[in-house]
Structure 1
Amino acid sequence: MIHLQLILFRLGYVALLLLCVTHLRCARAENKTVVQKYAEFDVTYNDTVTSDNQTIYAFNHTVSRNKTEGVRVTVDVLSEGAESSPILFVVRQKQAVLSFQVPLILRGLYQRKYPYAHVGRTLCQPPTRTLSETQYFFVDVSTLSNLGTHYQLRISRVDSFTLHTDKKFSFTASPSQPQYFKYVFPDGVDTAIVKVNSEMTFPCSVMSIQDIQCPVYDLDNNVAFIGMYQTMTKTAAITVQRKDFPSNSFYVVVVVKTEDEACGGPLRFYPLRPDELIDAGNRSKTLDVVVSPAISSDVYVMGMLFCLGIFLSFYLLTFLVACVENKRSVDRFTVIYSKYIISYTPGVTPVSPYEYGSFGECVCLLFSLFPPVSERSLESVTGRSRQESLSSIEEDDYDTLADIDSDKNIVRTKKYLCVSDLARKDKRVLSKKYQIYFWNIATIGVFYALPVIQLVITYQTVVNVTGNQDICYYNFLCAHPLGNLSAFNNILSNLGYVMLGLLFLLIVLQRDIIHSRALDRNDLNALECGIPKHFGLFYAMGTALMMEGLLSACYHVCPNYTNFQFDTSFMYMIAGLCVLKLYQKRHPDINASAYTAYACLAAVIFFSVLGVVFGKGNMVFWIIFSVLHILATMLLSTQLYYMGRWRLDSGILRRIVYVIYTDCIRQCSGPMYIDRMVLLVMGNIVNWSLAAYGLLKTPNDFASYLLAIAICNLLLYFAFYIIMKLRSGERIQCMAMVCILFTAVVWGFALFFFFQGLSTWQKTPAESREHNRDCIVLSFFDDHDIWHFLSSIAMFGSFLVLLTMDDDLDDVQRDKIFVF
């Protein structure tokens, strides 16, 4: 009971105090002097305000519906120590109220405070329905300072408040003096691009596009509340569509930030106390703005037709080449047919439904995939049958070699190997083994692409909803939106990967069917000559190229460092599959299985993710990666040198010491396999050098560094293969040579456009925009789009090189084809 009485007494005491304070305030307000002045534009008013008086400035001006003028309020505080008792300015106008204190306190990182004694604000323009209207607004000036604060007030008109199409306008802004201007879409313009430029890198700024409404968010702490915005150093650009603005007009707002860390500038210092006021210094910035019409719908159509036309021409060219090759096959077939077949049917003359060499015959031969017939195969039709039946033979069930396991070691460790030594397993078992590459990569592609598509749609939605265009690293000077996509041209240019990947699959399918029919006829060339033809890896390469196009398009929906792995994952796949295909050509029996290969590629992608997350400046990560890189190179070198005939077990160190003692110390004998040793030594030099470079430089773009390692190894092995092919007395046919030369030239141009660097997520978004450039083709495609075009063509050409480079061996016995 006593506690309850004590609580009630304390509550009554507090209520009495509040009543007294309210009474004192009301009494003081009654004694406060309010002075109202009728003021004029372009007149500077010098006055002093204290807690005992309040000044109201009354203005009026005529607003015309056909002419838009801005009204700007400029305030200076002249008294010292005004931070402790700032002046409050309240601007009351039709449909809007703007209030701010002077000195204006703006906060930066870690809540650091920057006072500004000079403040300039532009008043928003309420719409008028009449042709001409007189509007009134009032500026209330008040403070709680007892000593009085001296200030200057000036209201002026902004004659150049409205921006005109393709007309540059220059102005100056600072954190306490933001600027914004109005733009009205002219007739016939549905899309415009707003460009803001400055010769000054710093101070950091923000450019915002906002709808016509009050209030206008034009301070560093609220400019990101509505509309679209970008940070900028020297340049910024935003594409604006009429459909997003019901009033057919918008504001271009430019705000200078209080600090530069958002644009990559250094942090100057930390405050000693959280409430410490820091001198902001001179942060004025001169900028210019220009609004230009964006491309019309006709340019979109031309861009899409241009893209389709380029890649459909490859289909047409492939069709014409197929016609020429089939015509040659028909010539051979006609001679052989008349020599062998007619003799079995006397008195019967075969009649072709098409005229010899006609277009219809080409179509028939191409789409029926009619195989070329050799004289040797026809002679063996009746004398040779398939030795094995097509059954569900699995390689893991038993060894398909005719000899015992010890003989396998003897064969594979000979000093000079031929393809026949490493092509002894059942061809149907190997075919099924390599088909797993295709089915696995198709499965991987589906399960990889679905969450990626969902994620990038979420990214694009976030960009559209928040208006934060710092999320995605576009080339904003050549980013053409379509629907909800911000840069449709960067997505469209990836169509080449998909179309050319599909074309490569069709070419491989044709060769596969022709080869299968040759095997069904027991063609001796197909059975005993040439490089063994297994097409599973080729199917996987074509699928990977198509997936690369899809995932690259997903990456370009919103390019940034967190999803760059989408663009590179299947590049690792392509590089790895090409190396495996090169190795498989001469080593079909001992090539890696699909499960082992994809497991290794998964490890590479895993390290790619770790490098993106932890690799930037983390020396521990780079040491671990470099050590693993070198160890993996050494293990792979051992595997390749001994053709897999070695074991990684507890006795490996003892055997290494024994080999060093017998071959290097006891007798100085050279390596048994000279060619392989040269390749592996060069490969180790290259890989160790790349590991040392990564350890010393620690590049920020780890994904590209990892891709460079894969490409360097692929190029090294390809060069070794070509050199050894020529050294072995083999030749490169005309078609393969044309593909090699064409692909090399296209790769050169592609890399030129790739290194133009229109944007980079290794820097801040504002710094990245400094590299932005205008479109260069049809006002629709930029340098990176040209890279997409050329690199897809170059990859397609590279695949054709791998497909055709050993066609000269189709008539050579496998026991006369060397392994290297």
Structure 2
Amino acid sequence: MVFRSCWKSRHKNGCGPSPWWIRPGLAALFWFCVTHIACGIGAVGETKNVVQKDAEFDVTYNDTVTSENQTIYAFNHTISRNKTEGVRVTVDVLSRGLESPILFVVRQKQAVLSFQVPLILRGLYQRKYPYNHVGRTLCQPPTRALSETQYFFVDVSTLSSQGTNYQLRVSRVESFTLQTDKKFSFTASPSQPQYFKYVFPDGLDTVIVKVNSDVTFPCSVMSVQDIQCPVYDLDNNVAFTGMYQTMTKKGAITVQRKDFPSNSFYVVIVVKTEDEACGGPLRFYPLRPDELIDAGNRSKAIDVMVSPAINSEVYVMGMLFCLGIFLSFYLLTLLVACVENKRMKKREVFQIPADMSPAETGKIPAAQYEYGSFADNGSTLSSEAITDSATSTDNNYGYMERSLESVGRSRQESLSSVEEDDYDTLEDIDSDKNIVRTKKFLCVSDLARKDKRVLSKKYQIYFWNIATIAVFYALPVIQLVITYQTVVNVTGNQDICFYNFLCAHPLGALSAFNNILSNLGYVMLGLLFLLIVLKRDIVHNRALVRNDLNALECGIPKHFGLFYAMGTALMMEGLLSACYHVCPNYTNFQFDTSFMYMIAGLCMLKLYQKRHPDINASAYTAYACLAAVIFFSVLGVVFGKGNTVFWIIFSVIHILATLLLSTQLYYMGRWRLDSGTLRRMIYIIYTDCIRQCSGPMYIDRMVLLVMGNIVNWSLAAYGLIERPNDFASYLLAIAICNLLLYFAFYIIMKLRSGERIQCLALVCILFTAVVWGFALYFFFQGLSTWQVSTDALSSIKTQEYTLTLLFLTQKTPAESREHNRDCILLSFFDDHDIWHFLSSIAMFGSFLVLLTMDDDLDTVQRDKIFVF
């Protein structure tokens, strides 16, 4: 055609005849092309010798295939609409070292399945694993007729010139349909995947597909796919459709009827070629890129059972139970408030005098020990202390003799426009602070000199700051977890989130609604605590307005800003914990712990504020320190695993921060950090410890700080040596240990000072301690975890691999699922949900302890309340 078109174009354009030497060449080229095309057509026709055989089920066919012959096996079988049978093709290649694989093509009515033998499956780093024994189940397209005969063909061919022996067997799978609550056992391997059909019975809308195995490895994948062809049942394509998850011993997927229009689905089980996805050891690298690796025997015995999930009545019962528990606290609080109001009215009518405890008499406790010392030496007070005590006593009597008019006048003066910084304009303020705060025996009146209105505004900043932090922190968190849940729902990859799959009840787009609902207690009890604090705040303000002497000059100064911040933090903990449980995983765990740090820090600040209202940290300083803690938490999660440099830096900062805080607490803020700090420290050690061998002036404070340093140094040493995998929990443990230590010290010192704990506070303490004990028991059940797999890390170190893959530096989802357990409460809540219930109640009780612990001092003059 090309030559003819060129020839025509030459004559069309007026060209003359071709030169004489071109004509013989064109003729020779023409005959050459015609001859070779004809030979090629003849060769193609002579290449394949196609043989078709009528074949039967359950018969093994031994045959040989070469590049010159092709065999077609024709099968027919009758299918019915009321009965589903599977058809399985099994192939064995008996020859080794093939230069070309054998290609098997199964042609069905609505699908085509093809695979080669040896079947080459690829693993991590594109390593190749050949399998000579292959078994595949054919896709069964649905039929509308009551009974229908279908034909399918198995074509066998190869490009190898050598004869290759193979065995072919096609058999029926009688137990192809899974039954509800009936266990079905089978064996699968990478080249012999298995899948079975399940049909929703009438009246059942949700089921749980549970897969179990007695052995951990080889790693496998379970998938739930719609009834369609083709079925993705190989390691390299099982993630293309449906829902899937890796598994070792346990796996579970909750399936809803609404997601499958045909009211049925396939349960597909695929054994992976390698175990790294399940936390197994890394395999060696091949010597050459194209080298084939012997995978060995990777068959796995597996049990599958489909069980009905809970119905809507269980959902309703679970929600009512959750609401009922926490609404009962509202009713109990209302009842206690009514009883307290009646008791207060009786006290006002009969004017019952307050008990005269040692703290109320104004006398220094002089039983077997001196206040401010744990030593039982019976020593008498120093002359300086006696003088200070006498002076303080005289001032107290004069102070008590003031009239109510003068008290009211001082109240009005305290409400004047005075800012806290105005005190620093006085020239003698620094010397006055040094004189007051360095006394051996301090009273609350010595550290409650600043204007009440200014301090109230100062502590209200805690509430407004944490409210602002909560808004800006929660909004991106909510957006992120919604994205996580959307990705899970769209991709079907259930390895993204670490649920307890055996007790994960979906609702709408949420995969584990029960884990989210159980966080309601934090929000409701946090709100209840805010209402209790608001009620106390209103009562206190009314007392101030009517110039009540007890409200003005007695008891621990009432500042509620930190209490408001604590209640808000508890509510935010519930919200962020719920967000975290939308899709719990390694990357968003800080959502669940950030406000735990804040709660622990605010509780410690509140304990310190009770006896040190004037010198407590400002909101800006406190939140800056908490931000630094969260910053280190993120660094520890990202860089802390096995990083010695990080742990050394963190331990040094931890110890230095402990020493700095200890110095600040011991000297009541009356020390300065400058170039002469080291010189002064050496001088004090020389004069007090070496030259005079005298003990510390503030024994109680020194005992607390020494114990605190021992605890923190021990925790720092533990972290440096052990390097815990879960850095966020390790950091939270540091905060909780310090809080418990300070709280125990406060209780002991309160009792040693002659104060008492009222009945309500004592009940709260005992109740909270018991609830915390049960809560921690359920917390340590560990239904899911993503802590680092020690075996995987040791394997990495042994083989000297430098890997940054995330699943190699954390526990895999398959390993996490080994800890999954069934629901234990109302068939709706698991152990972790109970931890949510109990921990929210315990936190609420802890807040009530802080709120009511010093109610016994409400009628005691502040210059008779000791500071510790």
Provide the TM-score with structure 2 as the length reference: 0.86
Q: Which runs of 5+ in 2 are unaligned?
A: 1-28, 353-399, 788-810
Partner of 1:64: 80
The match for 2:276 among 226, 250, 261 is 261
Partner of 2:813: 765
Q: Distance in 2 between the 1:711 and 1:17 partners?
A: 90
Shift of 1:395: 1.5
Q: 1:771 aligns to what SS in structure 2?
A: coil
Is residue 555 of structure 1 aligned with residue 594 of structure 2?
no
Partner of 1:353: none
Is residue 791 of structure 1 aligned with residue 834 of structure 2?
no
Whether the aligned pair in 1 keeps the contact of 2:208 and 2:307 (CA below 8 Å) is yes
Partner of 1:817: 865
Q: Which moved more, 1:496-505 or 1:25-34?
A: 25-34
Whether the aligned pair in 2 keeps the contact of 1:381 and 1:521 (CA below 8 Å) is no
What pairs with 1:644-663 in structure 2 (closer than 5 Å)? 644-663=669-688
The match for 2:528 among 503, 512, 521 is 503
Shift of 1:651: 1.1
Is residue 441 of structure 1 aligned with residue 466 of structure 2?
yes
Partner of 1:185: 200
Is residue 533 of structure 1 aligned with residue 554 of structure 2?
no
Q: Distance in 1 between the 2:158 and 2:73 partners?
A: 15
Question: In the superposition, relative to structure 1, how do residues 29 and 786 fare at CA in structure 2: closer, same or farther (>3 Å)?
Answer: farther
Whether the aligned pair in 1 keeps the contact of 2:414 and 2:453 (CA below 8 Å) is no
Partner of 2:441: 416
Q: Which amino acid aligns with 2:680?
A: R
Q: Distance in 1 between the 2:416 and 2:152 partners?
A: 93
Whether the aligned pair in 1 keeps the contact of 2:477 and 2:579 (CA below 8 Å) is yes
Whether the aligned pair in 1 keeps the contact of 2:407 and 2:547 (CA below 8 Å) is no
Shift of 1:89: 0.1
Question: In the superposition, relative to structure 1, how do residues 19 and 456 fare at CA in structure 2: closer, same or farther (>3 Å)?
Answer: farther
What pairs with 1:691-710 in structure 2 (closer than 5 Å)? 691-710=716-735
Whether the aligned pair in 2 keeps the contact of 1:400 and 1:426 (CA below 8 Å) is no
Question: In the superposition, relative to structure 1, how do residues 403 and 651 fare at CA in structure 2: closer, same or farther (>3 Å)?
Answer: closer
Q: Which amino acid aligns with 1:804?
A: T
The match for 2:707 among 682, 694, 703 is 682
Q: Distance in 1 between the 2:33 and 2:741 partners?
A: 88
The match for 1:629 among 654, 665, 670 is 654
The match for 1:323 among 338, 349, 352 is 338
What pairs with 1:229-628 in structure 2 (closer than 5 Å)? 229-335=244-350, 380=404, 384-385=408-409, 386-388=411-413, 390-399=415-424, 404-628=429-653
Q: Distance in 1 between the 2:77 and 2:843 partners?
A: 67
Shift of 1:665: 1.6
Write the deviation string for residues 614-633 of structure 1: whole angstroms up to 9, x where unpaired. Answer: 11111111111001000000
Shift of 1:19: 12
Write the deviation string for residues 87-144 of structure 1: whole angstroms up to 9, x where unpaired. Answer: 0000000110000000000000010000000000000101101000000000000000
What pairs with 1:171-182 in structure 2 (closer than 5 Å)? 171-182=186-197
The match for 2:64 among 25, 38, 48 is 48
Write the deviation string for residues 27-77 of structure 1: whole angstroms up to 9, x where unpaired. Answer: 234431000000000000000000000000000000100000000000000
Shift of 1:664: 1.4
Whether the aligned pair in 1 keeps the contact of 2:85 and 2:177 (CA below 8 Å) is yes
Q: Distance in 2 between the 1:24 and 1:555 partners?
A: 68
The match for 2:182 among 167, 174, 196 is 167
Partner of 1:106: 121
Q: Which amino acid aligns with 1:161?
A: F
Q: Distance in 2 between the 1:817 and 1:756 partners?
A: 44
Whether the aligned pair in 2 keeps the contact of 1:615 and 1:621 (CA below 8 Å) is yes
Provide the TM-score with structure 1 as the length reference: 0.91
Whether the aligned pair in 2 keeps the contact of 1:437 and 1:540 (CA below 8 Å) is yes
Q: Distance in 2 between the 1:499 and 1:321 partners?
A: 18
Shift of 1:398: 3.8
Whether the aligned pair in 1 keeps the contact of 2:414 and 2:451 (CA below 8 Å) is no
Shift of 1:18: 14
Q: 1:799 aligns to what SS in structure 2?
A: helix
Shift of 1:267: 1.2
Q: Distance in 2 between the 1:401 and 1:517 partners?
A: 33
Whether the aligned pair in 1 keeps the contact of 2:781 and 2:831 (CA below 8 Å) is yes
Q: Distance in 2 between the 1:22 and 1:662 partners?
A: 115
Q: Distance in 1 between the 2:535 and 2:272 partners?
A: 62
Q: Which amino acid aligns with 2:85?
A: E
Shift of 1:331: 2.3
Q: 2:693 aligns to what SS in structure 1?
A: coil
Q: 2:840 aligns to what SS in structure 1?
A: helix
Partner of 2:51: 35
Question: In the superposition, relative to structure 1, how do residues 37 and 671 fare at CA in structure 2: closer, same or farther (>3 Å)?
Answer: same
Whether the aligned pair in 2 keeps the contact of 1:87 and 1:101 (CA below 8 Å) is yes
Whether the aligned pair in 2 keeps the contact of 1:179 and 1:253 (CA below 8 Å) is yes
Q: 1:271 aligns to what SS in structure 2?
A: coil
Is residue 803 of structure 1 aligned with residue 851 of structure 2?
yes
Q: 2:167 aligns to what SS in structure 1?
A: strand
Q: 2:587 aligns to what SS in structure 1?
A: coil
Q: Which moved more, 1:325-334 or 1:474-483?
A: 325-334
Question: In the superposition, relative to structure 1, how do residues 711 and 19 fare at CA in structure 2: closer, same or farther (>3 Å)?
Answer: farther
Partner of 1:364: none
Q: Distance in 2 between the 1:282 and 1:115 partners?
A: 12
Of the two, which has the highest radius of gyration?
2
| Aligned sequence identity (%) | 89
Q: Which amino acid aligns with 2:867?
A: V
Shift of 1:334: 4.3
Whether the aligned pair in 2 keeps the contact of 1:401 and 1:424 (CA below 8 Å) is no
Q: Which amino acid aligns with 1:537?
A: L
Whether the aligned pair in 2 keeps the contact of 1:401 and 1:425 (CA below 8 Å) is no
Q: Distance in 1 between the 2:351 and 2:47 partners?
A: 121
Partner of 1:344: none
Q: 2:221 aligns to what SS in structure 1?
A: strand
Shift of 1:328: 1.3
Partner of 1:641: 666
Q: Distance in 1 between the 2:721 and 2:222 partners?
A: 39
Q: Distance in 1 between the 2:39 and 2:866 partners?
A: 107
Partner of 1:360: none
Q: Which amino acid aligns with 1:74?
A: T
Q: 1:387 aligns to what SS in structure 2?
A: helix
Q: 2:240 aligns to what SS in structure 1?
A: coil
Q: Which amino acid aligns with 2:166?
A: Y
Aligned length: 767
Question: In the superposition, relative to structure 1, how do residues 478 and 29 fare at CA in structure 2: closer, same or farther (>3 Å)?
Answer: farther
Q: Distance in 1 between the 2:41 and 2:137 partners?
A: 33
Write the deviation string for residues 336-389 of structure 1: whole angstroms up to 9, x where unpaired. Answer: 79xxxxxxxxxxxxxxxxxxxxxxxxxxxxxxxxxxxxxx99x94797343316
Question: In the superposition, relative to structure 1, how do residues 807 and 50 fare at CA in structure 2: closer, same or farther (>3 Å)?
Answer: same
Shift of 1:402: 11
Shift of 1:394: 2.6
Shift of 1:391: 4.5
Question: In the superposition, relative to structure 1, how do residues 701 and 26 fare at CA in structure 2: closer, same or farther (>3 Å)?
Answer: farther
Partner of 2:227: 212
Is residue 750 of structure 1 aligned with residue 775 of structure 2?
yes
Q: Distance in 2 between the 1:697 and 1:42 partners?
A: 60
Q: Distance in 2 between the 1:617 and 1:88 partners?
A: 49
Write the deviation string for residues 492-525 of structure 1: whole angstroms up to 9, x where unpaired. Answer: 0000000000000000000011111111111111
Q: Which amino acid aligns with 2:522?
A: Y
